[in-house]
């Protein structure tokens, strides 16, 4: 963060400014959005408290996971004339891509 400053000096400076940083042991962090999940595996998580305001810093490898809606499953099932379970499996195999799932099922 600050060049040429040892960790003790940095902690002392942060304390004087009313800042406190804690490391959080985490094995996985999941950020859920409307249409996908962001999965951060083996993250390094720091919680920073600055005058009562908390913020988090997360560093790690990010993997995106598309969510599959019931409408998507229904569409694939109807277009491919298969059960919803088969449609869902095909969508998962094709990472949520409706067209690819339909094509895969129609080719079988």
Q: Are residues 50 and 78 in the same domain?
A: no
Q: Are residues 90 and 60 in the same domain?
A: no
Q: Are residues 56 and 44 in the same domain?
A: yes
Which residue(s) pair with 59 in the sheet?
Answer: 44
Q: What is the CATH number of the domain that holds 13?
A: 2.20.70.30
Cα angle 82, 85, 87 (rounded to 5 degrees) comes to 50
1 located within any domain: no
Q: Are residues 103 and 78 in the same domain?
A: yes
55 located within any domain: yes
Q: What pLDDT band is residue 8 in, cutting at 50, 70 and 90?
A: confident
Cα–Cα distance for residue pair 22/24, rounded to 1 Å: 6
Q: Are residues 53 and 29 in the same domain?
A: yes
Answer yes or no: is pLDDT of 1 > 60. Answer: no
Q: At what angle do helices 84-93 and 70-80 cross, to 10 degrees?
A: 110
pLDDT in tens, 11-57: 888 888 888 889 999 999 999 998 889 999 999 999 999 888 999 99
Q: Specify the higher pLDDT residue, 51 or 1.
A: 51
pLDDT in tens, 60-71: 999 988 888 899
2 located within any domain: no
Q: Are residues 92 and 80 in the same domain?
A: yes
Provide the residue range defining the domain that includes 30. Answer: 7-66
* pLDDT attached to residue 66: 80
CB 89 within 8 A of CB 66: no
What domain count does the chain have? 2
Q: Are residues 43 and 56 in the same domain?
A: yes
22: tokens are: 């804690």
* pLDDT attached to residue 43: 96
* pLDDT attached to residue 2: 64
């Amino acid at each position: 963060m600050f060049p040429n400053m040892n960790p003790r000096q940095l902690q002392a400076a942060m304390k004087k400014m009313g800042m406190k940083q804690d490391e959080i042991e985490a094995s996985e962090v999941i950020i859920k959005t409307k249409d996908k999940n962001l999965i951060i595996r083996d993250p390094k998580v720091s919680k920073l408290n600055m005058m009562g305001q908390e913020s988090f810093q997360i560093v790690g490898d990010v993997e995106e996971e598309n969510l599959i809606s019931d409408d998507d499953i229904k569409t694939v099932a109807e277009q491919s004339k298969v059960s919803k379970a088969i449609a869902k499996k095909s969508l998962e195999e094709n990472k949520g891509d409706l067209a690819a799932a339909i094509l895969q099922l129609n080719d079988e």
